[in-house]
Structure 1
Amino acid sequence: MINENKIIVGSEEWCSLPDLNIPAIKARVDSGAKTSSIHAINIQPFKKEGIPWVNFDIPPIQNDGKTSVHCEAEIVDRRTVKSSSGISERRYVIKTSVALGEASWEIELTLANRDSMGYRMLLGREAMSGRMLVDPEARFLFGQKSTAHLNELYQPNQPARQGLKIGLLASDPNLYSNQRIMEAGEARGHEMHFLNIRHCYMKLDATNPEIHYRGGRILNDLDAVIPRIRPSQTFYGCALTRQFEALKIFTLNSAAAISQSRDKLFSLQLLLQNGLEIPTTGFANSPLDTSDLIKMVGGSPLIVKLLEGTQGKGVVLTETKKAAESVINAFKSLHANILVQEFVKEANGKDIRCFVIDGKVVASIQREAAPGEFRANLHQGGTASVVKVTPEEKRIAIKAAKTMNLKVAGVDIIRSAKGPLLLEINSSPGLEGIESATNKDIAGKMIAAIEKHVGWKTEK
C-alpha cells in the first residue's frame, strides 16, 4: 500500500534483494532496531583489485538448510552491533538494493548468524526512514509466498549436482588416511568436505534438528559422512554421528557400532557370543584377585591392557608372574580397568590386519614388530607385507565386522597353535600401511561403498 510518498508495510513482509540474486526473503520489520541484518554463513573476506570484499552464503528460507545462494559484495564497514539478546559482535556491513512491491532503494545490511531467530532478515529503522510507515497489526501487505512458489523461484538457481556431497568427520586434515579419503572422493567426482569434530555443533529440535559448522554453515545437506573418530573424542564424535543419522544422512560407520567397538571388554564379549575365538582373557575389579587372574589366563608371560587405552598404547608384556603382579596392582591402585590376556608365543611377534569394507576383505597384510618390541606395538614400528589369508581367517574377519555392525573395520588376527584368534577390531583403521604394502586403493573402495548405499551410479 502507498500513502503519499511512503509505503505502508506490515510487521512481516516478503521482499527481494536483486543485487544478491535473492528473489524472495521474509523480513521482520522492526522500527526498534537501528540496523538491518541478514542471515549469512561461510563469511570470508577477500580483496578485489585491492578493495575489501566479502564472500558469503545466504540460506533465504527459514527451516530449509539445503537452499542456499552464494553472494559477494563490497565491504563498506565493520561495525559492532548489539543483538536483541544483548550480545555485542563485530559484523561486516554491505550495501545492496532492496525491493518491496514496486519500490526499491539501497540499504545497508550487516551479515550475521540469525539462525536462532525467527526471520532470515531484519529491516531496521535506518532502512525505513523517510520511506515507510509500519502498521504493526498487518502482515504481508504485498502478498504471501507459498512453499511451491519459493521452490519455483529458487530451484533453477541451485547449482546442478555433479556428485555426492560427502563429509569426512575427523580431527587432522593432514593425516595420510584423511588426505587419501578426500583425494579418492574428489577423484570419483564428489564434493568432499573435511569436518573437524571440534568445529561441529548441533541443534536438538523435534521439528528442525541441525548440525552446524564453525561460522554458521549448516551441514544438513550432506549425502554421507565418513566418521574417523579419535579414541579421545569418542563421546562427542559419536554424538555428532548420531545427529547425522537422525537427519537421515548415511554414515559409513554408525555411532552405535563405533561406541561398542571402542569398549574393549564389551566388544570381546560380543565377539565371543557370536562364536569368534580370542586369546584367553581375564578381567577383575579387585587387586586381591590378581594371583588367580594370572593363573586363569595360563600364567606368565602375559599381556596387560588398559581398557581405556588407545590402540597399541596402555599395553604391557610382562615376562614373569612377579612383573605381572606389579603391573596389574599398579594399574589397580590408579583405579584403572584392565584386561589380562594370554601371550601367544607362536605368533612370534606377528599379526594379520584384514581390512573389511561392506562385508568383504578388500586387503590384508602381515605386520611384524620391530626388534625388541612385541605385537602390541606393531603400529609404532616394524614392517608390513602382503599376506594371503586363509578362508578361515577371512571368515573370522568378515564375521567380526558384521558382529560389530561395522561397514569399515580393521580386524586384527594372530595365528596360534589353536588356529586363528581374533585380537581386536578397529572402527577407524589407518590406510597408510595397508595401501603402501598392497598398492590397493582402499580409500577409493570406501567411497565406492558409500555410492552403493546411497544409490549413486557413476558414469562409465
Structure 2
Amino acid sequence: MSVNKTIVGSAEWLALPQLQVPAIKARVDSGAKTSSLHAFNIHSFKRDGEAWVSFEVHPIQKNRKTVVRCEAMVVDRRIIKSSNGEREKRYVIRTAMELAGESHSIEITLSNRDNMGYRMLLGREAMVGRILVDPSEELSHGDHSKSEISTMYGEVEEVKRGLKIGILASNPELYSNQRIIEAGEQRGHQMQFLNVKHCYLKMDADHPEVLSRGGSSLNGLDAVIPRIRPSVTFYGCALTRQFESLGKFALNSADSISHSRDKLFSMQLMLKNGLDIPTSGFANSPMDTNDLIDMVGGAPLIVKLLEGTQGKGVVLAETKKAAESVINAFKSLNVNLLVQEFVKEANGKDLRCFVINGKVVASIERTAAAGEFRANIHQGGKAAIVKITPEERTLAIKAAKAFGLDVAGVDLIRSSKGPLLLEVNSSPGLEGIESATGKDIAGLMIQAIEKKLGWEPSEET
C-alpha cells in the first residue's frame, strides 16, 4: 500500500543533521540503488576500535567555498557501479536524513561528485516503503533562497576559500614556477610547490595516494600544474597520472606530456593530424646516411638528437661532408637522431605561440643571437612581440589540440611554403613571453584551472 508514503519530485532539499549539513539539494533517482554524497579529502581512522572516516563536503551546487567537515562510522566498503559504467570502491556510512518533515536512517556512499550536477543522489534503498517519486515535479517540499542557505551555514559561505593547487616541478626558484605560485596566491588560492623527486606513490586498491617526503598526503589538492623537467619525464608523468586517477585536475595530462616529449612520435602525430612540418628523416643504420641527407634536400641541414631540449643536441651542418660526419658520429654513440631540412628563409627566427584552452593568448618572435641559428635561440636569443597571421594561429591551436594539451608553447617558422610546425612544448617557459608581451600568462593559466573546476573568485580577489 502507498498509504503514508511521502511524494517527492525529481529533486528535493533535504538535511543530514548528524553530519552538520542543514540543507543539500539531492537528485532523486529510483534507478540508482544506493544513495551517494559528494565527499573529498576522505581519510579512514580508528575510534574505540571501530572503523571511522573523516571527509569534507561542498554541500551547495556550483559552490566550492562552503565546506563542511564530517565524521561518521564506516558500515561497509562496496564496489559501486556509477551511471556511466565505472566501478569504484566506496566507503558506506549510515546517517539520519530529514526530508519533508520526516527523519529516516539511510546508508550513503561517499564519492567525489564534483563533475555531477547535484552534490547528493538519493537512491531507491533509502526510499523503499517511505517515498514515492513524481518525476514531473521538482522541489515539491519547498525551495531555499541564497540568503537562507547563507544563514544556515553561518559565515562559512562568506569566506572566500581558494583552490588547493600543486606545482609539480623540480626548481622552486625558476621564474615560471615562482610566477605561477604568485598568480595563484593573488587570486586567493593555496599554492604548494611539489618537488617531483620528493613525491611518491601509494598504489592501493582501497586508498591510493600521492605523498610528499615525510608522509604528508597530497590527496587534498584540487589540481596540479605539471612543470616537468625532461630528465624526469617518466617519473613526473607517473605522478601526474596518479593525481588524475584520484580525480584531480591536471593542467596538461600525463599522456599529453609524454607524447610531446617523444620527438619522433610527436612529429608522426603532427603528420597524422595534417599539420605541416619541415621535411624530416629518421633511420637506424649509418648505411642510410646519404639517403637521409638527400631526402631533406641536402646540406645545409639540421641534425637533432631525439633526447635534446631547448636547442641542446641540435647541430647545423652546412655541407654534405659535415652532415655525414655529424650523423655518423652521433650514430656511433648509439643515440637516436632526426635529420631535418634547413629553412633558410626563416632567417634565424621562430615564433612561439602560447596556447591556453584552445586559444592563442600571446605570441612572440624569437631571434637567435649573432652567429647562431634558430635551433639555438634559447641561448642568448632575443624575443619581441609579434602579430601572427590567421594561418599561424590556426596551426598553433590545432597543434595543441592534437596533443591534448591545455597549455602549450607551440614553435613555428615562416617559410616560402607557409608556416611550419617545429615543436610543441608541454612546459613552456613564461619569462620570455611575459617580458616581451607584458601579459599575465601565469594568471591566465590559473584562470584555466578555475574555469575547469567551476570556481569563481570573490570581488576582493
Q: What SS does structure 2 have at the residue aligned with 1:289?
A: helix
Match of 1:298 in 2: 297
The amino acid that maps onto 1:240 is L
Deviation at 1:161, TM superposition (A): 6.4
The amino acid that maps onto 1:261 is S
Deviation at 1:301, TM superposition (A): 0.4
Deviation at 1:62, TM superposition (A): 6.4
Match of 2:269 in 1: 270
CA contact (8 A) 1:358 1:449 kept: yes
Partner Cα distance (2:311, 2:357) in 1? 25
| Identical-residue share of aligned pairs (%) | 71
The superposition leaves residues 212-260 of structure 1 with CA deviations (integer Å, 9 ceiling, x where unpaired) of: 1111110111111000000000000000000000000000000000000
Q: How many pairs does the alignment contain?
A: 327
Match of 2:306 in 1: 307
Deviation at 1:458, TM superposition (A): 1.6
Q: Where in structure 1 are there 5+ consecutive unaligned residues?
A: 1-23, 30-59, 68-144
The amino acid that maps onto 2:438 is N
Match of 1:26 in 2: 46
Query: Highest CA radius of gyration, 1 or 2?
Result: 1
The amino acid that maps onto 2:396 is A
Matches within 5 A, 1:166-185: 166-185=165-184
Partner Cα distance (2:257, 2:348) in 1? 28
Q: What SS does structure 2 have at the residue aligned with 1:457?
A: coil
Q: What SS does structure 1 have at the residue aligned with 2:232?
A: helix
Deviation at 1:311, TM superposition (A): 2.3
Matches within 5 A, 1:440-459: 440-459=439-458
Deviation at 1:208, TM superposition (A): 1.2
Give the TM-score normalised by structure 2.
0.67
Match of 1:4 in 2: none
The superposition leaves residues 139-187 of structure 1 with CA deviations (integer Å, 9 ceiling, x where unpaired) of: xxxxxx96659x9xxx99x996611000000000000000000000000
Match of 2:382 in 1: 383
- Rate the CA distance shift 1:194–1:457 in 2: closer, same or farther, 3 A: same
Q: What SS does structure 1 have at the residue aligned with 2:378?
A: helix
- Rate the CA distance shift 1:334–1:28 in 2: closer, same or farther, 3 A: farther
Deviation at 1:26, TM superposition (A): 2.6
- Rate the CA distance shift 1:296–1:65 in 2: closer, same or farther, 3 A: farther
Deviation at 1:382, TM superposition (A): 1.6
1:372 aligns with 2:392: no
Partner Cα distance (1:232, 1:66) in 2? 37
Partner Cα distance (1:181, 1:203) in 2? 27
The amino acid that maps onto 2:175 is Y
Deviation at 1:27, TM superposition (A): 5.5
- Rate the CA distance shift 1:339–1:25 in 2: closer, same or farther, 3 A: closer
Q: What SS does structure 1 have at the residue aligned with 2:274?
A: coil
The superposition leaves residues 108-133 of structure 1 with CA deviations (integer Å, 9 ceiling, x where unpaired) of: xxxxxxxxxxxxxxxxxxxxxxxxxx
- Rate the CA distance shift 1:204–1:63 in 2: closer, same or farther, 3 A: farther
Deviation at 1:264, TM superposition (A): 0.5
- Rate the CA distance shift 1:165–1:324 in 2: closer, same or farther, 3 A: same
- Rate the CA distance shift 1:147–1:216 in 2: closer, same or farther, 3 A: farther
CA contact (8 A) 2:281 2:340 kept: yes
Match of 1:196 in 2: 195
Partner Cα distance (2:299, 2:56) in 1? 60
Q: What SS does structure 2 have at the residue aligned with 1:379?
A: coil
Partner Cα distance (1:431, 1:341) in 2? 27
Q: What SS does structure 2 have at the residue aligned with 1:380?
A: coil
- Rate the CA distance shift 1:146–1:246 in 2: closer, same or farther, 3 A: closer
CA contact (8 A) 1:169 1:195 kept: yes
Give the TM-score normalised by structure 1.
0.68
Match of 1:421 in 2: 420
CA contact (8 A) 1:257 1:404 kept: yes
Match of 2:283 in 1: 284
